């Protein structure tokens, strides 16, 4: 422990301050130095400045209570311990305080210098251990992301080579093959394509989580971009006999985005609209300017829909939601997580509304250049 530890007391009663100061002075070779603030309004700024090692907050602070003051901070993330001073019989307050991340509590009438010293030291020590654990966990998580990125990168190279060679045999570069050989190789080719897609999904997410994404923003005509995405997905819709209705904006609507990332993010949502919609149904896409310098892309389908209870899971990593088509179409549960993160990196939002059995609508909102 360093030589001197500063303790900030927030308490509107000067007597409490004097009592605690005296008790601290009685702690043998006390490292604690107390500062006192009586007004909770001023305390907010001082606590924000994070200049103290420990915070002691009185529960009864004039009009406000100490918990209201504390609710303005993320106590779990703060590296310093917060200790609440309560009156006798305030167990309810103590429980609420603990749930907020308060390190400990002291009952005012039952204070002595030994107890005060112990609570201050232990709270501090626990916070130090907690912070070390958090750092270790973050380190482990980062190593895991790096491993995933490396492994998926290494897996992608040979998988892509397999695709090329099998593709060449299928196209006849190695001579004639029998219809049966063609059939088997075609299955191998399609399995390999799915494998590459999974590896790519994992690699993309690992890069995102490692913050290895650099956006190269340019002015992009979102209407044209969507036209091109739909054009690339045309065979998908055709194979599933789905109808696509595209309503383009009357005039070009541009946004300042990274074309490739936004193309992939919107492409995922279009891909899902097709995947989770039965044949013969329609998918409607609209790109339109919106108020306050926004462009909105609406992608609505007449698919299986999503139950209300599952909506919250939609953008979580690896969350696949069971539906009548999910086993058949396959997937990793990473597409929407990735798309949402990318849109948020651009400062945009994705909203979703859905009705089970009737269809789903995604609304992607991006800032226009202007």
Q: Return residues touching ligand ADP (CB under 6 A).
A: 268, 272-273, 276, 301, 303-306, 314, 319-321, 323, 326, 331-337, 360
Least distance between ligand ADP and beta carbon 182 (Å): 29
Tokens coding 338: 């990735």
**What is d(CA 186, CA 167) in angstroms, rounded to the nearest whole number?**
8
Least distance between ligand ADP and beta carbon 147 (Å): 22
The SS3 assignment for 317 reads coil
Closer to ligand ADP at the Cβ: 59 or 261? 261
The SS3 assignment for 28 reads coil
Least distance between ligand ADP and beta carbon 300 (Å): 9
**What is d(CA 52, CA 120) in angstroms, rounded to the nearest whole number?**
13
Closer to ligand ADP at the Cβ: 95 or 351? 351
**What is d(CA 242, CA 274) in angstroms, rounded to the nearest whole number?**
8
- Considering Cα of 110, then 112, then 118, then 119, what sign does the dihedral take? positive
Residue 293 is given by DSSP the state T
Closer to ligand ADP at the Cβ: 123 or 354? 354
Q: Which residues contact 154 (CB under 8 A, 6 or more apart)?
A: none
Least distance between ligand ADP and beta carbon 310 (Å): 7
Q: Do the beta carbons of residue 206 and residue 339 sit within 8 Å?
A: no
Least distance between ligand ADP and beta carbon 183 (Å): 27
Least distance between ligand ADP and beta carbon 333 (Å): 4
* Helices H / strands E in the chain, number of each: 11, 14
Give the count of beta carbons closer than 10 Å to the beta carbon of residue 87: 13
Closer to ligand ADP at the Cβ: 167 or 333? 333
Closer to ligand ADP at the Cβ: 217 or 320? 320
Least distance between ligand ADP and beta carbon 216 (Å): 24
Q: Which among 96, 45, 36 is positioned nearest to 66, based on CA atoms?
A: 96
The SS3 assignment for 216 reads coil
Least distance between ligand ADP and beta carbon 235 (Å): 18
H/E stretch holding 193 reads: helix 179-209
Closer to ligand ADP at the Cβ: 192 or 268? 268
Least distance between ligand ADP and beta carbon 203 (Å): 15
Closer to ligand ADP at the Cβ: 254 or 354? 354
The SS3 assignment for 65 reads strand
H/E stretch holding 336 reads: helix 335-345
Tokens coding 174: 């190695």
Taking the chain, what is the end-to-end CA distance rounded to the nearest angstrom? Answer: 55
**What is d(CA 219, CA 368) in angstroms, rounded to the nearest whole number?**
9
Closer to ligand ADP at the Cβ: 60 or 281? 281
The closest residue (CB) to ligand ADP is 331
Q: Which among 49, 101, 57 is positioned nearest to 77, based on CA atoms?
A: 101
Closer to ligand ADP at the Cβ: 106 or 314? 314
Residue 164: strand pairing partners: none
């Amino acid at each position: 422990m360093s030589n001197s530890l500063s303790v900030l007391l927030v308490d509107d009663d000067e007597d409490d301050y004097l009592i605690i100061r005296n008790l601290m002075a009685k702690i043998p070779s006390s490292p604690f130095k107390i500062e006192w603030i009586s007004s909770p309004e001023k305390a907010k700024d001082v606590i924000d400045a994070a200049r103290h090692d420990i915070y002691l907050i009185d529960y009864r602070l004039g009009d406000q209570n100490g918990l209201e003051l504390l609710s303005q901070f993320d106590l779990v993330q703060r590296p310093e311990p917060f200790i609440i001073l309560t009156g006798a019989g305030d167990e309810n307050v103590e429980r609420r305080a603990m749930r907020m991340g308060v390190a400990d509590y002291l009952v005012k009438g039952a204070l002595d210098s030994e107890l005060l010293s112990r609570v201050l030291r232990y709270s501090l020590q626990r916070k130090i251990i907690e912070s070390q654990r958090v750092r270790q966990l973050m380190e482990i998580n980062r190593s895991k992301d790096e491993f995933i990125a490396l492994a998926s990168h290494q897996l992608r190279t040979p998988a892509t080579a397999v695709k090329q060679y099998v593709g060449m045999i299928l196209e006849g570069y190695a001579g004639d093959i029998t219809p049966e050989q063609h059939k088997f190789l075609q299955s191998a080719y399609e399995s390999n394509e799915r494998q590459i897609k999974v590896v790519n999904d994992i690699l993309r997410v690992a890069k995102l989580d490692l913050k290895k994404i650099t956006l190269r923003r340019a002015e992009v005509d979102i209407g044209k971009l969507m036209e091109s995405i739909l054009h690339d997905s045309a065979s998908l819709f055709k194979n599933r006999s789905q109808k696509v209705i595209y309503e383009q904006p009357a005039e070009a609507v541009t946004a300042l985005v990274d074309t490739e990332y936004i193309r992939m993010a919107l492409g995922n949502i279009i891909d899902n609209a097709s995947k989770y919609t039965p044949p013969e149904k329609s998918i409607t896409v609209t790109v339109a300017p919106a108020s306050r310098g926004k462009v909105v892309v609406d992608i609505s389908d007449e698919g299986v829909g999503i139950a209300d209870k599952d909506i919250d899971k939609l953008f979580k990593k690896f969350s696949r939601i069971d539906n009548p088509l999910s086993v058949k179409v396959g997937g990793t549960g990473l597409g929407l997580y990735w798309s949402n993160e990318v849109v948020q990196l651009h400062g945009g939002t994705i909203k979703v509304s859905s009705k089970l059995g009737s269809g789903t609508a995604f609304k992607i909102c991006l800032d226009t250049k202007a």
